[in-house]
């Protein structure tokens, strides 16, 4: 495999950088002893050299055409930030303790999305390790880490990363990240990393100093698009398609969540995503454990998860935003202001039964027909959620669901997605209804860039003027206010919601019918005024989930999947109330064909006996 950046082994280090139109390249060692070395160029436009008697921690720049110091675009560590020198890392020195780890099947993942900087007060990888047992206690078995590639400053969501191969210095650098992955594997937890291949952050972006990494042919919402199909795009494709291999090989990740794949533009005969996923599958065979690629896609297309042999991109799964939208608008009376094309109970029914809700209909938001059908696609190809970083952070006040919904609706939301036939993902703090906002925050150095971000946020939220002005993304308090308040985890309603999530996840992992993601064994019906009867089964086990989104109760006739039904969950029982009182009226057992009263905003779950 080609070296990108530097590769250290046994007191020698190989360096490589792609700059096809540059005539010369100098390697400038700046510490511990300064010196410059002229690099050789091969026919593919790569400059390379190998130095002996050199140690990890050595810092360096490259000098394209000998003009000025520029950080390595494939730097593995930027200890002084995006404008400082790159540092040699010995990836083979870390003592891994996960040799027995063989991963978890993707369909068994209970995912927990976290932002390292706000997940704990310390905001580091090592601090995150201290909270893993709390996540294990409720049944989480996979954490998803928002991007950690080096960005400018210390406060950022991570999607403005500048060095895709370098681990954020303020979080603990490469060794800190390895410690977290290692700790997770020792505890039986998988680890997913969020990665960005559609753009590069603005501050410290040095790529144009080397080659035509960007194109003006296309545009992304966040800046210049990456050049995946224009002149001199071969090296660009090599650089980015090798990045997943780096994370899987050197950091032992189990999966990557790939940001906004629809903003990677490529008209090549072999699409960039085909190239990436073919490389990943080849690596999977070599390491003999499953590794997964999960897409965030705005396409509503099954092409994303089809194999390259069938004309697809080859991803293992993709986020299902339609499920979130259909569920959220039923729960929040103001939800339709954000998702005007959603709002009917039949759309949630479709989300359960098919996946994509918008599958070729005219969509008001897009002013065109949009989407394709996902009928028959297995549930293990979709990830669902009631919240994620975007859904929370892209609100004016950064409100979480628990700040928008009452207690009963909050319980209803959790059950509705955790009992779905899809891979569930919680957003950090959701499990105990943490009320801390999750704002957008930055800490760039460039005053013009800071002001541009401020103005951009104001423009973005102009349609929501009634909700006030968004907080200053640059202000430190915007970041600190977004940190979780772990001390509230077991207090009052937070403790009830925590136990509720633990119960739901326990049921999901205990009953085979709730683990089954085969769509032929899932059937959702609309019942009452605004309720869903969700039937899940596997062989002889039948589970019936009743979700009433209405403030009106109704009579429901128990179906004839079995002669008798036994209640296994009722959201109105005393243990699921804040004051310990019960207003449950459901029968502990009931015969098929008998009528049962379903109360407003109630969750009821029965199994056949």
Q: Which residues are catalytic?
A: 259, 296
CB atoms within 10 A of CB 434: 22
Burial 88-105 (b: 16+ CB within 10 A, else e): bbbbeebeeeeeebebbe
252 is in an annotated binding site: no
> Which among 206, 169, 195, 182 has a CA at the least distance from the CA of 83?
206
300 is in an annotated binding site: no
391 is in an annotated binding site: yes
260 is in an annotated binding site: yes
76 is in an annotated binding site: no
259 is in an annotated binding site: yes
Angle between helix 243-251 and 234-241 (nearest 10): 20
Angle between helix 321-331 and 345-353 (nearest 10): 150
Which one-letter DSSP state was computed for residue 471?
P
Residue linked to tokens 């800046």: 223
What is the longest distance spanned by two Cα atoms in the chain?
Answer: 85
185 is in an annotated binding site: no
List, in order, residues 6 or more apart from 552 with CB less than 8 Å away: 528, 529, 600
Which neighbouring-strand residues pair with 383? 319, 423
Are the beta carbons of 83 and 204 closer than 8 angstroms? yes
User: What is the spatial distance between Cα 312 and Cα 270, in angstroms, rounded to a whole number?
Assistant: 10
322 is in an annotated binding site: yes
What number of CA atoms fall less than 13 Å from residue 323's CA on the CB side? Answer: 29
Give the SS3 label for residue 144. Answer: strand
User: What is the spatial distance between Cα 498 and Cα 117, in angstroms, rounded to a whole number?
Assistant: 22
User: What is the spatial distance between Cα 25 and Cα 36, in angstroms, rounded to a whole number?
Assistant: 10
526 is in an annotated binding site: no
> Which among 505, 322, 294 has a CA at the least distance from the CA of 419?
505
Strand-strand pairing, 603-608 and 564-570: antiparallel
261 is in an annotated binding site: yes
103 is in an annotated binding site: no
> Which among 238, 160, 219 has a CA at the least distance from the CA of 194?
160
Are the beta carbons of 97 and 186 closer than 8 angstroms? yes
227 is in an annotated binding site: no
Q: Burial of 14 by CB count in 10 Å (0-12 exposed, 13-18 middle, 19+ buried)? A: middle
389 is in an annotated binding site: yes
Return binding residues.
257-262, 321-325, 389-394
Return binding residues for substrate.
257-262, 321-325, 389-394
């Amino acid at each position: 495999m080609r070296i990108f950046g530097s590769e250290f082994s046994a007191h020698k280090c190989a360096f490589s950088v792609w700059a096809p139109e540059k005539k010369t390249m100098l390697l400038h060692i700046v510490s511990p002893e300064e010196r410059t070395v002229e690099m050789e160029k091969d026919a593919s436009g790569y400059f390379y050299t190998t130095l002996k008697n050199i140690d990890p921690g050595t810092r360096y720049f490259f000098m394209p055409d000998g003009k000025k110091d520029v950080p390595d675009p494939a730097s593995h560590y930027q200890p002084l930030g995006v404008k400082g020198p790159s540092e040699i890392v010995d990836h083979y020195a870390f003592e891994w303790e996960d040799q027995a780890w063989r991963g978890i099947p993707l369909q068994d993942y209970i995912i927990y999305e976290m932002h390292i900087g706000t997940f704990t007060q310390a905001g580091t990888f090592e601090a995150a390790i201290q909270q893993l047992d709390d996540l294990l206690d409720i049944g989480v078995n996979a954490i998803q880490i928002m991007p950690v590639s080096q960005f400018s400053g210390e406060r950022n969501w991570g999607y403005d990363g500048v060095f895709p191969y370098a681990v954020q210095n303020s979080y603990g650098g490469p060794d800190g990240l390895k410690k977290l992955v290692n700790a997770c594997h020792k505890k039986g937890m998988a680890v997913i990393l969020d990665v960005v291949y559609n753009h590069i952050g603005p501050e410290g972006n040095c790529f144009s100093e080397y080659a035509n990494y960007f194109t003006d042919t296309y545009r992304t919402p966040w800046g210049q698009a990456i050049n995946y199909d224009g002149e001199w795009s071969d090296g660009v494709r090599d650089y980015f398609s090798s990045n997943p291999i780096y994370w899987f090989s050197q950091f032992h990740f189990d999966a990557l969540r790939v940001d906004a794949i629809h903003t990677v533009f490529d008209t090549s005969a072999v699409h960039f995503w085909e190239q990436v996923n073919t490389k990943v599958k080849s690596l999977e065979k070599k390491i003999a454990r499953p590794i997964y690629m999960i897409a965030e896609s705005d396409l509503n297309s099954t092409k994303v998860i089809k194999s390259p042999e069938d004309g697809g991109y080859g991803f293992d799964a993709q986020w299902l935003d339609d499920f979130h939208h259909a569920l959220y608008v039923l729960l929040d009376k103001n939800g339709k202001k954000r998702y005007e094309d959603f709002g009917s109970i039949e759309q949630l029914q479709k989300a359960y039964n098919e996946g994509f809700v918008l599958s070729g209909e005219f969509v008001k938001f897009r002013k065109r027909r949009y989407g394709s059908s996902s009928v028959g696609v297995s549930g293990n190809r979709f990830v669902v959620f009631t919240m994620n970083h975007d859904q929370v952070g892209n609100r004016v006040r950064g409100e979480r669901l628990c700040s928008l919904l009452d207690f009963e609706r909050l319980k209803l939301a959790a059950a509705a997605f955790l009992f779905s036939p899809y891979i569930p993902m919680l957003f950090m703090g959701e499990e105990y209804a943490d009320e801390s906002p999750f704002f957008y925050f930055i800490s760039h150095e460039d005053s013009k860039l800071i002001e541009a971000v401020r103005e951009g946020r104001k423009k973005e939220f102009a349609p929501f003027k009634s909700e006030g002005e968004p907080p200053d993304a640059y202000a430190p308090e915007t970041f600190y206010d977004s940190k979780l308040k772990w001390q509230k985890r077991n207090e009052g309603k937070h403790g009830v919601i925590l136990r509720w999530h633990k119960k739901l996840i326990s049921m999901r992992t205990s009953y085979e019918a709730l683990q089954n993601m085969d769509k032929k064994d899932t059937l959702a019906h609309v019942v009452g005024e605004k309720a869903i009867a969700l039937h899940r089964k596997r062989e002889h086990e039948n589970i019936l989930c009743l979700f009433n989104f209405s403030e009106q109760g109704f009579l429901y006739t128990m179906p004839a999947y079995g002669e008798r039904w036994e209640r296994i969950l009722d959201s109105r029982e005393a243990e699921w109330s804040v004051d310990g009182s019960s207003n449950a009226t459901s029968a502990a057992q009931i015969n098929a064909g008998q009528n049962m009263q379903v109360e407003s905003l109630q969750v009821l779950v029965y199994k056949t006996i």
